[in-house]
Structure 1
């Protein structure tokens, strides 16, 4: 895992990275709000996000 970078240790981050992180957070929050409004159970939302995070983690460390 020597190719994994912790963002807080790579400071200062560029304005582009900061904007991308803020945008990503907003998109995720909006998607969760839409899913809640559609009546998806909160447990399903959490499990979907967790599953996606697991897949992405596996991709990054492979």
Structure 2
């Protein structure tokens, strides 16, 4: 797993990475708020987010 960047070792983050991180965080928060407003059960929202996190982790490790 030598191709994985550990962000805490790369601090301070470049402005591009910081902007992308903030944009991702904002988009996820907005999507969760919209899903809640649409009436999706909180457990389903958590399950979907967990599934994506698991898939991304698998992709990183398998790469």
TM-score by length of 2: 0.93
Q: CA RMSD in A?
A: 0.7
Aligned residues: 62
TM-score by length of 1: 0.94
Tell me which stretches of 4 or more aligned residues in structure 1 moved more than 3 Å. none
Larger RCO: 1 or 2 (CA < 8 Å, sep 6+): 1
Q: Gaps (5+ residues) in structure 2?
A: none
